[in-house]
């Protein structure tokens, strides 16, 4: 079986769940080979959990400066791994960093690139949902080593214990004239909440939330459900919530199991980022709000009455379990 | 300082978008085309730099004839000249070919210090084009930035993504992609619109941009659509009007669906 490279998404301490999803998808095409880019020692820490999810080899691409420059160390590592393994495909997670690394790698390989896949079959055909959910498109790469970016949450992670061989890749030193240096980093403002594009539940607030303080109601419901908080652009523009949580055409695209829209009218640009969610619940006081046209459960009412009651009920339910 | 701004025309987001039955590319004829909103902000970022430094701004766009309108708009905002790559062979170009054409066009501009682009376009391009252009030009990539400072041959920027925020620094020349939060674009003035009519728009030949392309010609796409199916619109489900107990009904709804 050919190798299938998987770029490991991690924060230095933990492997993100999306990596295990990629490993599960990779097994459909061949033997998953995980590529870890990080400071020395990172791959060693991750090896066991990667092997538990089916990685038959783990490439360690480690250097002191790997985390100090944007994009290029990752692309260098993937390129080296491709040269070494001649894989059937390269899988990355369709996060901002992942898309960019995938694009740059495809340019180096002059290879076909498919981004934002929601599924992948054993013949390498990828499913994408385009135009804000209006088309399902199945595509394949016809030139070069396929570089595929999968949406987090698209594939179920699976345990599949194997023994992993560790291999080393010697990262070239970074050319500071061709790479941007990361001089400071502030982790996501999400705190303990799951990342928007990884969460199984997303609770979003819109202009109807009325202010930054009103977002407490949104956060409390998200926390009761163990979900992430999102916002409409109107809420972001009004300064109620930071931009990185914007859901929609020019924000994040999410497809959680449950999406709850509080005080969001349902403009086409917002729907573009969430209408592939499995279940959609909307609370809006305007019975004519377009969001009701696609909500599986629509509540006509004041979010400040409905959401706290829901939060309370969910918390009570969690407490008895 | 020489600045190049990459812009794209996109279907108006309010309009319905359809895929052509014959080749599964976007039916542009059907859609109202506008200058992409985020690209407009990239142009604004260039114009702000021009206010404080001696800058020359070139607008580059790849696209059908109508893309000239997008270039004209940025010229009307205050850019100095345009480059429009327009060739039927580019219909259905993939992300990589798009980036290659843009990079080749940037190479025709002498002594480029800064390439500016939007971080994403509203028509579902993969947000990877700016990073690929940086790769092809060997420039430092400062992408998804909401704040930008150019000073003494250095660019520093605040990057904002799903992984949090980062401060980036690089020497010029560099490529920067901006998010929609960076600024509010200006409206072209009447004077600007009149002046734009006299500004040069160069239309290089695709074969001149790729003199080394072999006889088989330019590789336009490395992927193939196997199937494209319109998705049925989502149907509305149940509706509850709050009588003081809707929150509790919702709890039951979620329990019944094993969502809590
Ligand atoms: C190019 C472009 C890109 C865009 N990208 C995005 C994007 O990525 N994401 C995005 O979200 N938007 C985007 N938009 C903006 C979009 O068109 C809408 O303006 C925006 O989504 C509206 O946000 P909203 O629903 O919060 O606000 P509104 O449309 O103002 O709706 C607020 C809703 O709250 C309800 N409400 C008020 N008070 C209460 C209450 N107490 N209880 C219950 N309900 C209440 C009202 O009935 C109303 O329906 C984009 C627009 C353009 C042109």
What pLDDT is stored for residue A249 in this prediction?
Answer: 86
Per-residue pLDDT band at B36 (split at 50, 70, 90):
confident
Q: Where are the alpha helices (DSSP H) in chain B?
A: 37-52, 67-77, 95-107, 129-137, 190-196, 206-209, 246-256
DSSP structure string for B150-181: EETTEEEEEEEETTEEEEEEEESSEEEEE-TT
Residue nearest to atom 53 of ligand 1 (CA): B13
Residue A192: count other Cβ atoms within 10 Å of its Cβ: 6
Q: How far is A163 from chain B (nearest CA, A)?
A: 31
Give me the sign of the Cα torsion angle A140, A144, A149, A154. positive
Domains along chain A?
3-178 (3.40.50.620), 196-320 (3.40.50.1220)
Q: Do A250 and B38 touch (CB under 8 A)?
A: yes
Q: Rounded to 5 degrees, what are φ and ψ at B37?
A: -60, -40
Which pLDDT value is given to residue B122?
Answer: 65
* Residue of B26, B115, B134 to mutate, testing the A interface (most A Cβ within 10 Å of its Cβ): B134
A83-101 tens-digit pLDDT = 999 999 999 999 889 999 9
How many Å apart are CA A138 and CA A30, to the nearest integer?
20
What pLDDT score was predicted for residue B29?
53
DSSP bridge pairs for A61: A37, A169
Strand-strand pairing, B164-171 and A181-186 = antiparallel
- List C-alpha distances in Å: B157 to A100, A182, B251: 17, 10, 45
- Chain B residues near residue A280 by CB distance under 8 angstroms: 234
Residue B16 has pLDDT above 90, yes or no: no
- Residues in A closer than 8 angstroms to B228, CB to CB, are 135-138
CB interface of B with A, residues 144-183, below 8 Å? 144, 146, 156-157, 159-171, 174, 179-181
Average pLDDT across chain A, whole number? 94
Cα A76 off chain centre by: 22
Nearest-atom index, ligand 1, CA of A205: 26
In the beta sheet, which residues pair with residue B158? B147, B167
* For residue B21, pLDDT beyond 80: no
The CA-atom distances, in angstroms, between A1 and each of A27, A32, A126, A249 are 10, 10, 20, 39
A12: left (phi over 0), alpha (psi -120 to 50) or beta: left
pLDDT at A321: 64
Tens digits of residue pLDDT in B41-67 = 999 999 999 999 999 999 999 999 999
Residue predicted with more confidence, B137 or B23: B137
pLDDT of residue A251: 87
d(CA A229, CA A190): 8
Question: Edge-to-edge, what's the strand order for the sheet holding B154-161?
Answer: A181-186, B164-171, B154-161, B141-151, B174-178, B114-118, B2-7, B56-62, B81-85, B201-202
The percent of residues in chain B predicted with pLDDT above 90, rounded, is 73
User: Is B2-217 CATH 3.90.1150.10?
Assistant: no
Rounded Cα distance, B39 and B5, in Å: 8
A18-22, A217-221, B16-20: segment of lowest average pLDDT: B16-20
Tokens of B69: 């309108």
> What is the ipTM metric for this complex?
0.91
Quote the Cα angle for A304-A305-A308, to 5°: 80
Find the distance separating the first CA and the last CA of chain B, reported in whole Å. Answer: 57
> Of B110, B158, B182, B101, whose CA–CA distance to A70 is shortest?
B158
User: Is residue B19 scored above 70 in pLDDT?
Assistant: no
The answer to whether the CB of B123 falls within 8 A of the CB of B38 is: no
Q: Which residue has the tokens 């652009």?
A: A233
Burial of B221 (0-12, 13-18, 19+ CB in 10 A): buried
pLDDT digit string (tens) for B100-146?
Answer: 999 999 999 999 999 999 987 766 556 899 999 999 999 999 999 99
Predicted confidence at residue A85, as pLDDT, reads 97
Digit-coded pLDDT (tens) for A264-318: 999 999 998 898 899 999 999 999 999 999 999 999 999 999 999 999 999 999 8
Residue B21 CB partners (closer than 8 Å, separation 6+): none
Q: For residue B60, give the nearest of B106, B92, B99 by alpha carbon.
A: B106
Separation in Å, CA A175 to CA A171, A181, B149? 12, 10, 22
Average pLDDT for B88-99: 92
Q: Is residue B30's pLDDT more than 60?
A: no
- Taking only the tens place, the pLDDT of each residue in A46-83 is 999 999 999 999 999 999 999 999 999 999 999 999 99
At residue A316, the pLDDT reads 93
Chain B residues within 8 A of A317 when measuring between CB atoms: 251, 255, 260
- Reported as a pLDDT band with limits 50, 70 and 90, residue A192 is confident
Amino acid A226: pLDDT: 94
Nearest-5° Cα angle at A7, A98 to A141: 75
pLDDT tens string B161-216: 877 889 999 999 999 999 988 999 999 999 999 999 999 999 999 999 988 766 56
Identify the pLDDT of residue B211.
81
Distance CA A175, CA B115 (A): 19
Separation CA B176–CA B107 (nearest Å): 16
Tokens, residue A75: 């692309």
Q: Other CB atoms closer than 10 Å to residue A174's CB: what's the count?
A: 17
Distance from B95 to chain A by nearest Cα, in Å?
8
Say if residue A157's pLDDT is above 90.
yes
Q: Quote the CA–CA distance of A66 and A43 in Å, as a whole number.
A: 13
Spatial distance between the Cα atoms of B203 and B184, rounded to a whole number of angstroms: 29
Ligand 1: centre distance to CA B137 (Å): 39
**pLDDT at residue A143, rounded to an integer:** 96
Q: What is the pLDDT of residue B20?
A: 66
Select from A96, A287, A299 the Cβ nearest to the Cβ of B250. Answer: A299
Tokens of A8: 């490991």
**Interval A129-149 mean pLDDT:** 91
Say which range, A129-138, A205-214, A310-319, B120-129, has the weakest mean pLDDT: B120-129
pLDDT of residue A198: 81
């Amino acid at each position: 079986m050919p190798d299938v490279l998987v770029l490991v998404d991690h924060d230095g301490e933990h492997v993100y769940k999306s990596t295990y999803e990629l490993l599960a998808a990779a097994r459909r095409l061949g033997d998953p080979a995980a590529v870890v880019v990080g400071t020395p020692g990172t791959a060693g820490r991750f090896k066991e959990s990667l092997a538990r999810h089916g990685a038959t080899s783990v490439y360690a691409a480690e250097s002191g400066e790997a985390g100090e420059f944007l994009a290029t160390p990752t692309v260098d590592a993937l390129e080296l791994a491709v040269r070494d393994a001649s894989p059937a495909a390269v899988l990355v997670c369709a996060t901002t960093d992942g898309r960019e690394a995938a694009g740059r790698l495809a340019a180096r390989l002059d290879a076909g690139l498919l981004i934002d896949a929601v599924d992948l079959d054993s013949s390498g055909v990828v499913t994408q949902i385009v135009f804000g959910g209006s088309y399902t498109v199945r595509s394949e790469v016809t030139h070069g080593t396929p570089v595929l970016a999968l949406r987090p949450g698209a594939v179920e992670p699976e345990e599949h214990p194997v023994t992993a061989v560790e291999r080393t890749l010697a990262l070239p030193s970074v050319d500071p004239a061709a790479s941007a240096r990361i001089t400071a980093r502030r982790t996501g403002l999400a705190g303990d909440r799951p990342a928007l594009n990884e969460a199984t539940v997303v609770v979003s607030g819109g202009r109807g939330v009325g202010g930054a303080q009103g977002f407490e109601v949104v956060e409390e419901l998200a926390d009761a459900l163990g979900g992430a908080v999102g916002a409409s652009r109107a809420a972001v523009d009004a300064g109620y919530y930071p931009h990185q949580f914007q859901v929609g055409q020019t924000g994040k695209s999410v497809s959680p199991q449950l999406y709850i829209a509080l005080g969001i009218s349902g403009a086409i640009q917002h729907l573009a980022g969430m209408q592939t969610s499995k279940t959609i619940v909307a609370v809006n006081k305007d019975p004519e709000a377009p969001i009701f046209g696609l909500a599986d459960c629509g509540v006509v009412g004041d979010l400040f009455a409905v959401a706290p009651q829901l939060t309370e009920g969910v918390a009570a339910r969690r407490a008895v379990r | 300082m020489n600045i190049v701004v990459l812009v794209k025309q996109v279907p108006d987001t309010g309009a319905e978008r359809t895929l052509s039955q014959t080749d599964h590319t976007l039916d542009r004829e059907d859609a109202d085309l506008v200058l992409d909103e985020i690209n407009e902000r990239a142009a604004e970022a260039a114009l702000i730099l021009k206010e404080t430094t001696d800058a020359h701004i070139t607008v580059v766009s790849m696209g059908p004839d109508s893309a000239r309108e997008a270039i004209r708009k940025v010229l009307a905002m205050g850019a100095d000249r345009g480059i429009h790559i327009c060739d039927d062979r580019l219909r259905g170009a993939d992300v990589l070919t798009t980036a290659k054409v843009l990079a080749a066009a940037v190479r025709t501009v002498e002594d480029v210090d800064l390439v500016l682009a939007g971080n994403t376009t509203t028509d579902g391009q993969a947000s990877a084009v700016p990073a690929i252009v940086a790769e092809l030009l060997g420039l430092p990539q400062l992408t998804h930035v909401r704040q930008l400072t150019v000073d003494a041959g250095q660019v520093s920027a605040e990057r904002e993504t799903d992984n949090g925020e980062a401060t980036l620094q690089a020497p010029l020349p560099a490529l920067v992609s901006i998010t929609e939060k960076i600024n509010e674009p200006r409206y072209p003035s009447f004077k600007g619109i009149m002046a734009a009519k006299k500004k040069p728009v160069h239309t290089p030949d695709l074969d001149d941009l790729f003199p080394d392309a072999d006889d088989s010609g330019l590789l336009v796409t490395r992927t193939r659509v196997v199937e494209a199916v319109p998705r049925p619109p989502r149907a509305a489900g149940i509706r509850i009007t709050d009588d003081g107990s809707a929150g509790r009904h919702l709890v039951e709804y979620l329990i019944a669906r094993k969502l809590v």
